[in-house]
Amino acid sequence: MSVLPRRHLAKAITWRIIASLTTFVIGWIVTGSLDFGMAIGAADVVIKIALYYLHERAWYHSNFGVIKDGKHMYKPIFRFSKKKKVRKVTVPVENMDKKK
């Protein structure tokens, strides 16, 4: 499987449009100022698109949760060993009455 980095960039841009429009509308409604809502939306675009892209690229380089050919590609954090079989042993108990 291979994915070009520009796919991650396209995903980042489309998501930022949706998220920044939401931030703009909320800022506008809360403050009542169209200018302030637009300023918040603009800052949101610039800062968060870069952060999202870096986040996406970091996850792309991680093998966490990736399955290839039916096998996980990451090493588990904790390794649990298989439970050892316990043999049931019966110990004969002497009759206490015979010792008296």
Token pair of 84, please? 């050892």
Q: Which residue has the higher pLDDT, 81 or 67?
A: 67
For residue range 27-76, list pLDDT tens digits in order.
999 999 999 999 998 888 888 878 888 998 998 888 877 777 766 555 65
- The CA distances from residue 41 to 9, 27, 36, 53, 72, in Å, are 19, 8, 9, 18, 40
In the predicted structure, residue 83 carries a pLDDT above the cut 70: no
Task: Determine the pLDDT at residue 69.
Answer: 73
Domain layout of the chain by residue ranges: 1-64
Quick one: tokens of 10? Answer: 């396209």
pTM listed for this prediction:
0.46
The DSSP secondary-structure symbol of 30 reads: H
Binned at pLDDT 50, 70 and 90, residue 84 comes out as low
Specify whether the CB–CB gap between 16 and 45 falls below 8 A: yes
Kindly state the DSSP code that residue 4 receives in the 8-state scheme: -
